[in-house]
């Protein structure tokens, strides 16, 4: 349907041009192929010597081109937006790049929004994504190497790193894992993410994915490796550690004391989102003595008439909130957020009035849901939501002992995780004192001048010896 060919005469030789009209620009086809070939028609000197390179220089000097020597190369060029010209008596085919594919323009991030900072995000076009990174890192050592993955799709996968910073062993390990990927089709970075992780049997993400170019640029400067997939607006960064998911790029666009305060709120919100429902179940079921008497009387009065135990109450409401959250994501953007918020309010109020749940439980579930939205990285909040149900069940079975036991198991699990050989809890465990300036709080930029030591970068300092990097300016600004 979209595959076409045109017969031509080049000099005194018959020729034929093949192309997919859905992959090329028809205007370019006319201006850069047909018009030059029509001009060459009937000329006795064209291709008289059979030299295809001289013919190209004369008629296609300004057009991107490749030569193809076999059918495999010809098919590959056709599928990548080339027009292929085959001339009688010439062993090679001339492939002219006329690619024209509709692409989405650069827009604001949809999942990692910030108030202050750049507002651009990656798109589905590889060249656009690379340009967004190069605009931020004007370093000649910034390298991008391309691989083709997928038996049928032959999707471009690009590995990016800064040659004079990133550890060479890390780069080679990423390349090795990509080369071993054997799939039929690759359509998004999520398809290749599991192949790049050290251990898939964990709810915690072992690769960092983002749609923000400034995030990837910052990770590259730290000494990490970026992986971009053609057709995906999300880039990957490895290795990653647990604390990376509490850091937002906005932390570096505002004063350090504000960024540190907000970062601490994220850690507290993570603990609330993970443990608050299970603590409510455990205390209200087994440990009434931990509740002040006046509060206990109030809670029990509200629960009077509720037909379900606390664990059933909270599981019902948590599942309802998860359904509403998913519905809000899948519905059209104009109404999705309204449906999730209004739906939660209406269902919660109706459940309390019907005597199915207590009002205290609605407050607990609402606080948990709000706390889960604080995480700047969406897929990390999903891990928290999954584990929350396990903590609720343990709290219902053996109370606070079950919650504490599961916390210990989770910490042991986290200490056993690795991301490209880097401990997942670094730099907290193993404790690396020199890396503590940008973990729980962010120190001033002039005091945070070293790259994470667990990445083993070639150069540990982020600054040069030129200029003053020892603190803020002491100039009083006397202009008189």
Assess whether pLDDT exceeds 80 at residue 40. Answer: no
Last residue of some domain: 189, 210, 240?
240
Which one has a higher pLDDT value, 156 or 359? 156
- Residue with more model confidence, 16 or 352: 16
CB 95 within 8 A of CB 68: yes
pLDDT of residue 338: 63
pLDDT in tens, 355-406: 788 888 888 988 998 898 888 888 898 899 999 999 999 999 999 999 999 9
Task: Examine residue 461 and state whether it is found in any structural domain, yes or no.
Answer: no
* Cis before 58 (ω within 30): no
Instruction: Give the SS3 label for residue 340.
Output: helix
Q: Is residue 300 part of a domain?
A: yes
The C-alpha atoms of residue 129 and residue 134 are separated, in whole angstroms, by 9
Residues 274 and 188 in one domain: no
pLDDT single digits (tens) 437-451: 889 998 888 888 888
Alpha helices in 211-309 (DSSP H): 213-222, 256-286, 293-303
pLDDT at 181 over 80: yes
Q: Are residues 277 and 376 in the same domain?
A: yes
Using CA atoms, how far apart are residues 117 and 100, in angstroms rounded to an integer?
Answer: 32
Percent of the chain surpassing pLDDT 70: 92
DSSP 52-63: HHHHHHHHSTTS
> Residues 358-369, buried b or exposed e (16+ Cβ, 10 A)?
bebbbebbeebb
Q: How confident is the model at residue 471 (pLDDT cuts 50, 70, 90)?
A: low
Q: How far is the C-alpha of 107 from the C-alpha of 130, rounded, in Å?
A: 15
Residue range 244-273: average pLDDT?
Answer: 93
Backbone angles phi, psi at 210, to 5 degrees: -155, 155
Same domain, 341 and 382: yes
> How many Å apart are CA 340 and CA 325, to the nearest integer?
6
Single residue among 190, 209, 240 that ends a domain in this structure? 240
Q: How far is CA 123 from the centre of its chain?
A: 12
Secondary structure element (H or E) that encloses residue 317, with its range: helix 310-330
* Long-range Cβ contact pairs of 365-371 (< 8 A, separation 24 or more): 365/277, 365/314, 365/317, 365/318, 365/321, 367/272, 367/276, 368/272, 368/273, 368/276, 368/277, 368/318, 369/321, 369/325, 369/344, 371/269, 371/270, 371/272, 371/273, 371/276
434 in any annotated domain: no
Q: Which pLDDT score is estimated for 269? A: 95
Does one domain contain both 293 and 410?
A: yes
Q: How far is CA 458 from CA 7, 163, 379, in A?
A: 57, 9, 31
pLDDT digits (tens, 9 = 90+) for 9-18: 877 788 888 8
- Do 172 and 267 lie in one domain? The reply is no
| pLDDT reading at 135 higher than 90 | yes
Q: Clarify whether residues 218 and 348 are in a common domain.
A: no
- The answer to whether residue 478 sits within a structural domain is no
Domain span including residue 301: 257-423
Count of residues in the chain: 480
Q: What phi and psi values does residue 57 have, to the nearest 5 degrees?
A: -60, -35
As a whole number of angstroms, the distance between CA 155 and CA 164 comes to: 28
Cα 66 from Cα 380, distance rounded (Å) = 45
Rounded Cα distance, 322 and 314, in Å? 12
The pLDDT value recorded for residue 448 is 84
Does the structure show a pLDDT above 70 at 59?
yes
Residues 394, 284: one domain?
yes
**Is residue 117 one of the residues assigned to a domain?**
no
Average pLDDT, the chain: 86
User: Is there a single domain that holds both residue 171 and residue 273?
Assistant: no
86 and 14 inside one domain = yes
pLDDT at 479: 47
Residue 215 belongs to some domain of the structure: yes
Answer yes or no: is pLDDT of 86 > 60: yes
Instruction: Say what the pLDDT of residue 179 is.
Output: 92
Q: Are residues 200 and 82 in the same domain?
A: no
pLDDT of residue 395: 94
Phi, psi of 78 (to 5 degrees): -60, -40
Quote the pLDDT of residue 412: 94
Domain count, the chain: 3
Whole-angstrom Cα distance, residue 116 to residue 119? Answer: 9
pLDDT for 81 equals 84
What number of other Cβ atoms are within 10 A of residue 445's Cβ?
14
Residue 245 lies in a domain: no
- The confidence score (pLDDT) of residue 480 equals 44
The pLDDT-based confidence of 142 (bands split at 50, 70, 90) is very high
User: Do residue 268 and residue 407 come from a single domain?
Assistant: yes
Among 423, 449, 468, the domain-final residue is 423
Q: What is the pLDDT of residues 184-233, one digit of tens each?
A: 989 999 899 988 888 778 999 999 999 999 999 999 999 999 999 999 99
Q: Are residues 177 and 205 in the same domain?
A: yes
Confidence check: pLDDT of 469 > 70: no
What confidence score (pLDDT) does residue 474 get?
Answer: 60
Task: Report the Cα 40 to chain-centroid distance in Å.
Answer: 50
The yes-or-no verdict on residue 411 having pLDDT over 90 is yes
Residue 454 lies in a domain: no
DSSP symbols for 366-398: HHHHHHHT--SSHHHHHHHHHHHHHHHHHHHHH
């Amino acid at each position: 349907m979209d595959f076409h060919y045109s017969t031509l005469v080049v000099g005194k030789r018959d020729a034929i041009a093949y192309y997919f009209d859905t992959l090329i620009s028809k205007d370019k086809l006319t201006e850069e192929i047909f018009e030059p070939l029509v001009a060459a028609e009937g000329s006795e000197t064209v291709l008289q010597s059979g030299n295809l390179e001289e013919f190209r220089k004369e008629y296609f000097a300004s057009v991107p081109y490749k030569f193809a020597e076999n059918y495999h190369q010809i098919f590959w060029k056709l599928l990548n937006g080339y027009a292929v010209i085959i001339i009688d008596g010439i062993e090679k085919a001339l492939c002219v790049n006329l690619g024209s594919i509709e692409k989405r323009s650069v827009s604001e991030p949809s999942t990692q929004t910030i108030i202050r900072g750049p507002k651009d995000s990656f798109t589905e076009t590889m060249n656009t994504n690379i340009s967004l990174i190069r605009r931020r890192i004007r370093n000649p050592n910034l390298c991008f190497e391309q691989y083709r993955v997928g038996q049928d799709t032959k999707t471009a996968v690009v590995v990016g790193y800064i040659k004079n910073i990133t550890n060479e062993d890390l780069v080679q390990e990423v390349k090795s894992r990509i080369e071993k990927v054997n799939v039929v089709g690759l359509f998004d970075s999520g398809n290749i993410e599991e192949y790049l992780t050290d251990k898939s049997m964990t709810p915690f993400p072992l690769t960092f994915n983002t749609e923000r170019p400034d995030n990837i640029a910052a990770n590259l400067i730290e000494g990490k490796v970026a992986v971009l997939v053609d057709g995906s607006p999300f880039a990957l960064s490895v290795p990653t550690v647990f604390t990376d998911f509490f850091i937002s790029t906005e932390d570096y666009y505002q004063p350090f004391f504000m960024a540190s305060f907000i970062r601490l709120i994220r850690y507290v919100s993570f603990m609330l989102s993970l443990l608050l429902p299970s603590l409510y179940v455990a205390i209200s079921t087994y440990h009434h003595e931990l509740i002040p008497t006046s509060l206990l009387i109030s809670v029990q009065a509200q629960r009077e008439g509720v037909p379900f135990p606390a664990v059933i109450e909270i599981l019902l409401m948590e599942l309802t909130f998860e359904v509403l959250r998913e519905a809000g994501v899948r519905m059209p953007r104009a109404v999705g957020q309204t449906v999730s918020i209004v739906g939660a309010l209406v269902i919660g109020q109706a459940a309390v009035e019907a005597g199915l749940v207590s009002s205290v439980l609605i407050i607990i579930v609402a606080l948990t849901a709000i706390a889960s939205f604080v995480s700047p990285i969406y897929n990390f909040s999903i891990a928290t939501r999954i584990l929350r149900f396990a903590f609720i069940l343990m709290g219902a079975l053996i109370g606070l002992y079950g919650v504490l036991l599961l916390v210990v198991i989770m910490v042991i699990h986290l200490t056993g995780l690795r991301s490209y050989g880097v401990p997942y809890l670094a730099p907290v465990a193993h404790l690396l004192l020199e890396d503590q300036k940008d973990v729980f709080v962010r120190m001033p930029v002039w005091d945070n001048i070293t790259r994470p030591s667990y990445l083993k970068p070639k150069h540990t300092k982020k600054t040069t010896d030129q200029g003053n990097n020892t603190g803020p300016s002491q100039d009083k600004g006397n202009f008189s």
